[in-house]
Structures are given as C-alpha cells and as structure tokens.
C-alpha cells in the first residue's frame, strides 16, 4: 500500500507523514500528489488573512468549531513566518486552537513560510490538495500575518476572509490597493473594542468605491447618483462586512452563514469553476517555468555560466543578450 492509498483510507499518521514529504518536495511526496490529484476538487478552501494580532488564529478556531457542529470534517493549515536569517521558525497558531484538540474530525498542520513572500509557503497548495483528497470538506488556510501585498491566498482559496481590528488604520489605509481588494468577506474582529464604528465606516466606504451600487457623477456642479444597472449588479459578489469577537464566539453563526452563502454564490454563478480553472492554469504555468529553468540549468556548465556572468559584469553583453545567446545561440 502506498502512502497515498493509506491517506485515502483515512490513516492519520500516513496523512501527517505525507504532508511532511509534500512540504519537503521529496520525489515520493510529489509522486503521491500526482496519485491523489484525481481525488481533489471537492473541498471548500477558505483563506483567512490579515495583519498580525487581528485574531486570525482565534477566528480559525471558532470557524472550525462551528463547521464541526454541522458535522463537516475540517483541516487547518496555519502558516507562520520563517526567520530570514536562520531559516528556523516558531509556529504558534496551535496555542489559540486548543478547543479543537481531541476531535478526530479536525486536523491541524502548522507550516513555516520557508522564504516565500506571498503570505503562504511554496508547498501550501500541495498540502491543501492532500487534505482535499483525504476527504476534508472544509480546509481553512491561515496566512502569515499579512500587511498590504500578501495576496497569494486569493488565488488558492475559494473564499477569502480578510480580518481587521478596530484602530489599525484610517480611511487612506482602506483605499490603498492590496489586501482589502481580495476580501470576499471582511471580518472586523475584536468588535467589542472602541473604534469599531469608524473602522466599519471606512471599510464600507472602500467597498462602495470598489463595487459601485451607485454611480456618483458631477453634473453642472452638483453631485448626482444613479443606481447601477441590473447587468452591472448581476453576477457580482458584494463583500460582506461581519463583526466578530472571536474569543467569545460572538458573530460566528453569522460569519459561518456568510461563508456558506459565498460558497453558494460561487457554485451558482459558475465562478467556482472559473476560479478553479484560473488557479490550475497558474499552477501549471509555474510548474512549466520551474521545469524549463531546471532543464536549462542542467544543460549549462558551471564554467559557461561563470564566463557569461563575467561578460555581463564587464559590460560586453547585456543580461538580455546573454540569455538570448545561451538559449538560441544568437547575440554578440
């Protein structure tokens, strides 16, 4: 029996071991991914991102508890940063998830980002695929504490939650490009804290600008509003703003409802398939690039590479000319 077979049969130790091999990208791990691929595509992948300290882990803990009440099997992939200097990491997300221990319907895996900068680790997509194939219906993916540009999660997840907390920024932060744009659901956690009103107002304004329900224009000096047309509104998801207090479980039933209605929306609008297709294409693309680079490098001796870099440094060749020369034998 292969490791993949054992995972499909529901063996938890084999699952844990396979996750390690996938994370280390060993030949055995990669072969198992191929073997499991036909069994993937069933889970609802839910991303949870946001700045450090907004309460992502506590929220994941509560979301998992509520999905367990619906008898769904839940996997959690929690990513924390690796040290850029030593490559080591302290993965502390489990500290907030102790309520889940003892429940065999939950499987939590901590991952270090291992130098990847987009908020996830390179192997996170593979780890998620293994959980999907193993029959987990809900996969919660918690990113590293993200600032403004860690948006890989939106490509991987079906539904992306961006977690905010009161007092973290003003309206200018809210209209900047980046992380808020990827939200399907905006969660204002720690909503028992002062400042929640103004945070909600800022986020609402931002959403209305990004997803116009009304169009505002200036006509002879006066501002006029026109309702967006039915075609413009159809097939569009208006992100939901949800207040929660994760440590007390407040707002969680409502949040779960929003997550499920987003899932429904994706399935009914055809966007589930569209998103999946875009993701698979991007994944394929990345693999092609890696493979081509690897083959190119394999056919290039250390000496030739050195000489080429020398000529670039001596300004005899531009980097682009050097690439052309090596790939096609053309150039100076």
Partner 1 sequence: MAERKIRVLVAKPGLDGHDRGAKVVARALRDAGMEVIYTGLRQTPEMIAEAALQEDVDVVGLSILSGAHMALAPRILELLKGNGQEHVLVFLGGIIPDEDIPALKEMGVAGVYGPGASTEQIVADIRSAVPA
Q: Which residues inside 11-70 make contact with partner 1, applying CB under 8 A? A: 12-13, 16-17, 19-20, 23-27
Q: Which residue, 124 or 308, is less far from partner 1 as judged by CB? A: 124
Q: Please, are residues 154 and 146 in contact by the beta-carbon 8 Å criterion?
A: no
Residues 6+ apart with CB under 8 A from 208: 214
Q: Which stretch binds partner 1 (CB under 8 A): 63-71, 98-106, 146-154, 166-174?
A: 98-106
CA dihedral 167, 171, 173, 176 (to 10 degrees): 160
Give min distance, CB of 71 to partner 1, in A: 20
Contact 199, 174 (CB under 8 A): no
Nearer to partner 1, 104 or 315 (CB): 104
Q: Does the footprint of partner 1 cover residue 94 (CB under 8 A)?
A: yes
End-to-end distance of the chain based on CA atoms, in angstroms? 56
CA 222 to chain centre: 43
169 to 198, contacts with partner 1 by CB under 8 A?
none
Of 79-87, 210-218, 293-301, 320-328, the window that binds partner 1 (rule: CB under 8 A) is 79-87
Q: Does 87 bind partner 1 (CB under 8 A)?
A: yes
For CA atoms 160, 10, 17, 69, the dihedral sign is positive
Output 92 or 270, the one with its CB closest to partner 1. Answer: 92
Candidates 104, 126, 105, 117; CA nearest to 24 is: 126
Decide: is 294 part of the binding site for partner 1 (CB under 8 A). Answer: no
User: CB of 112 within 8 A of CB of 79?
Assistant: yes
Q: How far is the CB of 77 from partner 1 (least distance, A)?
A: 11
User: Contact between 5 and partner 1 (CB under 8 A)?
Assistant: no
**CB of 101 vs partner 1, minimal distance in Å:** 4
- What's the CA gap between 312 and 318, in Å, rounded? 6
Closer residue to partner 1, CB minimum distance, 101 or 218: 101
State the chain's maximal CA–CA distance in angstroms: 76
The binding track of 114-143 with respect to partner 1, each residue x by CB under 8 A or -, is x-------xx--------------------
Cα gap 226→215, rounded to integer Å: 5
Cα separation, 56 vs 109, in Å, equals 15
The footprint of partner 1 on this chain (CB under 8 A) covers a number of residues equal to 33
Tell me: does residue 82 bind partner 1 (CB under 8 A): yes
Cβ atoms of 81 and 113 closer than 8 Å: yes
Q: Rule CB under 8 A: is residue 287 a binding residue for partner 1?
A: no
Residue of 7, 108, 163, 187 that binds partner 1 (CB under 8 A): 108
Give the residues lining the site for partner 1 (CB under 8 A): 12-13, 16-17, 19-20, 23-27, 82-83, 86-92, 94-95, 98, 101-102, 107-110, 112, 114, 122-123
């Amino acid at each position: 029996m292969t490791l993949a077979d054992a995972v499909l049969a529901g063996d938890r130790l084999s699952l844990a071991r396979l996750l390690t091999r996938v994370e280390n990208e060993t030949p055995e791990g990669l072969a198992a991914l191929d073997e499991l691929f036909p069994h993937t595509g069933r889970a609802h992948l839910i991303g949870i991102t946001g700045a450090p300290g907004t309460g992502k882990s506590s929220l994941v803990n509560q979301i998992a508890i509520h999905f367990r009440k619906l008898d769904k099997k839940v996997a959690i992939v929690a990513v924390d940063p690796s040290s850029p200097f030593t490559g080591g990491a302290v993965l502390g997300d489990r500290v907030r998830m102790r309520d889940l221990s003892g429940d065999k319907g939950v499987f939590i895996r901590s991952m270090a980002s291992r130098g990847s900068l987009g908020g996830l680790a390179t192997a996170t997509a593979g780890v998620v695929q293994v959980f999907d194939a193993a029959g987990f219906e809900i996969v919660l993916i918690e990113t590293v504490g993200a600032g403004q540009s860690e948006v890989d999660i939106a490509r991987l997840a079906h539904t992306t939650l961006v977690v905010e907390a009161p007092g973290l920024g003003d309206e200018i932060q809210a209209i900047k490009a980046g992380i808020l744009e990827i939200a399907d659901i905006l969660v204002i956690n720690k909503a028992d804290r002062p400042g929640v009103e103004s945070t909600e107002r800022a986020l609402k304004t931002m959403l209305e600008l990004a997803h116009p329900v009304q169009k505002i224009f200036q006509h002879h000096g006066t501002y006029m509003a026109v309702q967006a047309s039915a075609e413009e509104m159809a097939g569009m998801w208006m992100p939901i703003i949800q207040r929660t207090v994760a440590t007390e479980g407040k707002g969680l039933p409502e949040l779960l409802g929003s997550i499920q209605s987003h899932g429904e929306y994706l399935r009914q609008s055809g966007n589930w398939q569209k998103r999946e297709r875009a993701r698979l294409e991007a994944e394929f693309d990345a693999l092609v690039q890696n493979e081509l680079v690897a083959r190119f490098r394999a056919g290039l001796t250390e000496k030739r590479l050195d000489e080429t870099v020398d000529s670039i440094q001596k300004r005899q060749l531009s980097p682009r000319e050097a690439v052309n020369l090596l790939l096609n034998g053309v150039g100076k």
